[in-house]
Amino acid sequence: MNFNVMPHDPALARPDKLTKLVAVFDQFHSVIAQLNDPTAKRLVDNWAEVRRQYVASVGVPRSVLASGMEQGLRETPMLLQSMSAEARKSAAQALAEAISSHYPIFAAKDAERLANIKARGSIRSEGEFHLIRHQVDLLEGEPSQQQELRLLYELVRKFEARGT
């Protein structure tokens, strides 16, 4: 299975979800490979092995592979938390750019989830917490985003207070 080759049938010319996800991860890992960070190095090394396994998968439906990769994409911001603040910001931006370039519907769904959390005024799950935390990483250091960051920090604070 070669994820870099588009199908020859014109009716299938649009890339499927798996192809989009592989492109997201390829771009993301090529950018973070340039970071001087041990977590980034581990992620890049891990992706090389995971990608080989996906390419070599025989008899597994592409939709099943895509589902697993999409879950991995949702969990990627959690993996960035152990990076230094500077590396984490670069990695978060690289992830956002890769998603925007290759799988914009994913970004649109996350934007909708983010809007719902903010409108509700509370985080309900670990997944929502990590979505908010990833958004914080993207916005920190941007002077024009201070009001948005205050709102996100408050959501995080309230969620973390529930656990204590």
Per-residue pLDDT tens over the stretch 45-89: 999 999 998 888 888 998 999 999 998 999 898 899 899 989 999
What tokens does 4 get?
């870099």
**In terms of residues, how long is the chain?**
164
pLDDT digit string, tens, across residues 3-50: 454 444 444 567 899 999 999 999 999 999 999 999 999 999 999 999
Hey, how many other C-beta atoms are within 10 angstroms of the C-beta on 123?
Answer: 22
Alpha-carbon distance of 14 to 9, in angstroms, equals: 10
Instruction: Specify the pLDDT at position 2.
Output: 46
- Give the torsion sign (CA, 97, 103, 104, 106): negative
